[in-house]
Structure formats: C-alpha cells, structure tokens
Structure 1
C-alpha cells in the first residue's frame, strides 16, 4: 500500500541524458538544499534514482515533486530520447506517495528560471540592450539540443514554450557544412540541428571531416574533440568546433527571428559554457546575424551564455510548483 504524504517538502529534479540533478525545498520560496548530481547510468530507472534521493533526505518527507526532463512530455508515458529511462507519471507519483507531481521538458523549466537569473550567472556575447517585455529565446547544447523561449502574457508574466526545436533541419551554408549535412543524411535519413549541436553531434562532425580528409585519429569523445580544438592539437577538431558554433549561431538566429526575441537569447546546456572566451571569437555571432535583410534586426539582440554553478532548471520547476500550489 502506498502512503500519500500531505505534509512535507518539495523534490526538484533536472534529468538530462547524462546527469540527474536533485534538490530539496522545504516550502515555496525557500532555498534549495541537499543538491546532488549523479550520472544517470548509476540507476536502472528514474524511480530508483528518486527513491535513493528521497531516502537520503530522511527524516524529511516529500509531499510534491517537479521534474524537468530532456524529452518531450505529451502524455502520461515518458520515454527518454537520449537515455533508456521510461516511466508513467501516474505510477511514479503513486510509487513515491506524492500529493502532486509535475513533469515538464527541461528547457521549458530552464526558460521559467530566466526572468530571475542573477546578472552574475550570465555572460553577454554581442548585441546591446534587451527590449523590455519582448520575447526571449533559449537554446542549449549538451547531450542533445534544447530549445524554448518565453512570451509575454500581457499581464506582466511569461508563458514558457514547450517544443522540440532541436530537431529542425539545420541550415548548411558552406561547402564543408554541406559535406557534413550529406553525411548525416546518409547515416540518419535527416540532418537535424541536434546532429551537429550536441556532444554526439560534435564527435560525429569531427569524424565526418576526418573521413573526408582521409585523416586517422584516436579521439572517441566530444570532450576530447573540444580539448584538441582549444589546444590547436588537431585541425579537424578545431574545424568541427567552429562548425558547431556556426550552426548553433544560425539556428539561434532563426529562433530569434521566429519569436521576435528582442528581449535576448540565452544559451544553456553543458558545452558552450566550458568553451569560455573562445566562444566569443567563434563563428557563432557572425552566423547569428547573417540573415540578409534582417541582419540589422538581429544585430542589437543580446545573447547570454548561462554560467550558473547549479542548474537553473531546478529553480524553474520550483516556480512551476509555486504557480500550482
């Protein structure tokens, strides 16, 4: 028999394709406590990970939970795109004895955190001053490519967007981009933005460039590609990282035009923040603005790299619970 806890705190989670982040909040507006980061491969299922975390909180109880997950959330059943976890929201709530459970896309949750993101937790890359009350864009590369945004609701608040913009067809412009594009179509049947702007995408792009140039290598991870690029140890690694940034800029510019995101565009995910100032001189900003007649429209739009030490998506799902509690 499952016991539902009517009194207790809040479990907050941000589940990506590589890491799972958890935090505990005693009540609405309270600080986040007991923050942990675990590799998703440590547990056979999300329920196992949640139970392990809840057990670690004893004697504190959990009455409600909000989970951000790197996956579309369209009905009760959730099957992760970039990991093998699957679950039923109803069964998860019942198994944990929760009064309330909310599950949203991870970038929808991250978007909810943007209005209160401290200035110290973001770094500007080009543009000037945001237009107050205008739409805001969000994009970020990690295990996958997340896309979201915020639209003004007309009452001083914001409406977060839930979508799968990382899977749009990416705009190949240069001959080398078209080479990679064609290689991705041969392998996958479709060349989505995520196939380039993600960890696996960076590694795959590097491999296709090496294959085209008949260059052998022993690099097997995206992190190793980045390291080789930043240290100028491998020409194709540097080219792959530059291509990654250029495509990310083109897709982010498309997002800004689509949303009218004159309130700025934020970059989340784990890859870009690790590039530091190198990213500022990458092709990102040039490609962001390279929209022909609408270059002048995009030029003043600021882009910020999110540099928060902890996942802002945890604050985002906390604000979601605030709105429902």
Structure 2
C-alpha cells in the first residue's frame, strides 16, 4: 500500500474508488458514518489514465478532490503503479501533485477487501460451513472477478487492522483427480505451459473452464461469456454449464482451504469478487466445503474455519476508506 498524505487533521468526507480491470467505481464516503453516495461507474477502457477518470468524476458529480483513497487491481507497494489486467499506469506522488490532493492513498484491491472486513455486519455476509470465527485471529479474503485476488487481515495490539496484500491468485493451480489433470493439460497448452489458479478461478477462467470440460467430454461447445454460463447453470438448462460451475466451486474450495492453512486463518475465509455472489444459490450443493476441508492430517483445523461470502455492495471502497481513516487518525 502507498500512502502519500500531508493532511494533519481529520476530514468528514473522502472520495474513494475501486479500480478493476474492467470498471472504475467512484464514490464519496462519510468517514464518520461510512455512508456512501454519489457512486458512479466508469469503464476503464473509456479513459486514457486514472487522472482523466478522476477528473471526469469530479466534474460530473461536482465533488472536491481533497482526500482520495483507491483500491486497485495490481501490486501497490511503490510510487509507480502498473495495472495487471489493464493498461493504466501512474505515479502516486505525481497524481497527488497534479490534482492538488491533500492526501492520496493507493491500496491493492484485496488489501482493501481485507480492510472491508472490519466494516461488515452479519447481514452483509453469508456463512458457508465451519465453526465460529475467532475475532483476534488472522482472516483471509479472496475473490474471483476479472482476475483472482487474495489478501489477509491481522489485528494489531492497538486495535487497528493491518491488511497483508499478496498475489496468491497467480500461484500454481493443483489438480487432484483425472478430470482436473485433463483440464490442466488443456489450459497448459493454451497458456504456455503454466496454469495459475487465476486461469480458472475468475470470470475469464470460468469461460476457459467451460471449453476445457467440453474438450474433456469430446463435446463441441461455442465460446460463451461467464455471465451466460452462470445464468444457464442457475436455470439448470445446460448440463455443461452446470458441470463447469460445480468444477469452479470444487477448485475454489481447494484453493480457499490452502489459503486458510497458510496463515491459520481462524478468523475466517471471506469470498469477495463479482463471480461467486451471483452463483451463490449453487454453492451450498457444490463440493466447495468438502474440498475446503479435505486437508489430510489437518482436516480438523480446516473443518473449524468458517467461510463467508461477502454480499455487501462496494466493500472495496469501504475498505480503503477504513484504511484512510486509520491513517488520518495517526496523522
């Protein structure tokens, strides 16, 4: 995360944004009540760079850009930001100076998603198995959208939360049965020999997975958009789409369980992103939880860890606002 802040006093409002590979979502947030308003979505492809999109938001919504915090789908550990799944790149310091911002914070999108866990209430998550979360323990968050994001959250002794960003979505995908090895071979041929988890646990991944399973069954299948695959699976009108979604959830369960073991996330594993909440009615009957818990000698640990699907809107913007609030408090 990058913090380029000069402000020394608290502010009631900030402009926040969640920048993905497809869309940039902007809003204004009250840092006392966490109420969001003036939300507007801009297609990233319509703007040459982030600065142009921010200026468009300022002009169309008639808001001041004073304190700005953004979550963005790429590493955010230095002044130079380069998006992974889009062409935008910028300097944090240069952007702050060009727009005359008093504070400008840039977080990896899943560091922001991790921070959002502090702001969620019980009505904004759906529990998927496991025991009770331990509030003081580490938490993990992952989410399938344009890519596969991963992050963690730990609590500090002073009560603040600290996000741990990462690029776990680019870790190798590990098939565990004959069909999955066939899927792996199909994808390896398509992606130069290496298959990351993101290659199937994402919106584009769902589309590739559909083709891979059709190939496994020696069945012709035209290219299909992820939204269509999901809709056909939900309506139970396409056996191949249903199998694809079931395989998606099985592999997601294995990946989420691995993530839980990595940092012993007894605080829970949270699933964000645009894909899973839309397919939530199919999740309970899938192999997600079985595969999550299938961890050999550590199955008892995995069984105890709860999973939650985040159903709250604009969680990323709330998360980056929470981080900004903590930063301003320290200043």
Give yes or no for contact 1:17–1:83 (8 Å, CA) kept in 2: yes
1:243 equivalent among 247, 259, 265: 247
What is the match of residue 217 of structure 1?
221
Return the alpha-carbon distance in structure 2 between the equivalents of residues 158 and 30 of structure 1.
16
Higher mean displacement: 41-50 or 296-305: 41-50
Return the alpha-carbon distance in structure 1 between the equivalents of residues 327 and 295 of structure 2.
40
Give yes or no for contact 1:8–1:62 (8 Å, CA) kept in 2: no
Q: Secondary structure at the match of 1:24?
A: strand
Return the alpha-carbon distance in structure 2 between the equivalents of residues 203 and 83 of structure 1.
19
**1:180-216, CA deviations, whole angstroms, 9 ceiling, x for partnerless residues?**
1122222223111100100111101111222233322
What is the match of residue 164 of structure 1?
167
What is the match of residue 109 of structure 1?
112
Post-superposition shift, 1:235?
Answer: 2.6
CA shift in 2, pair 1:17/1:209, >3 Å: same
Structure 1 portions without partners, runs of 5+: none
1:47-126 paired onto structure 2 within 5 Å: 47-58=51-62, 60-126=63-129
Give yes or no for contact 2:253–2:288 (8 Å, CA) kept in 1: yes
What is the aligned length? 319
CA shift in 2, pair 1:218/1:183, >3 Å: closer
Higher mean displacement: 225-234 or 195-204: 225-234
1:277-316 paired onto structure 2 within 5 Å: 277-308=281-312, 310-316=313-319
Give yes or no for contact 1:73–1:103 (8 Å, CA) kept in 2: yes
Structure 2 portions without partners, runs of 5+: 1-5
Give yes or no for contact 1:140–1:146 (8 Å, CA) kept in 2: yes
Post-superposition shift, 1:31?
Answer: 2.6
Is the counterpart of residue 18 in structure 1 residue 22 in structure 2?
A: yes
1:139 equivalent among 138, 142, 162: 142
What is the match of residue 228 of structure 1?
232
Return the alpha-carbon distance in structure 2 between the equivalents of residues 315 and 228 of structure 1.
32
Instruction: Indicate the RMSD between aligned Cα atoms, in angstroms.
Output: 1.9
Post-superposition shift, 1:27?
Answer: 5.2
Give yes or no for contact 2:126–2:311 (8 Å, CA) kept in 1: yes
Post-superposition shift, 1:133?
Answer: 0.9
Post-superposition shift, 1:29?
Answer: 4.7
Return the alpha-carbon distance in structure 2 between the equivalents of residues 203 and 214 of structure 1.
17
Post-superposition shift, 1:8?
Answer: 9.0
Higher mean displacement: 284-293 or 223-232: 223-232
What's the TM-score once normalised by structure 2's chain length?
0.91
What's the TM-score once normalised by structure 1's chain length?
0.92
Post-superposition shift, 1:28?
Answer: 5.0
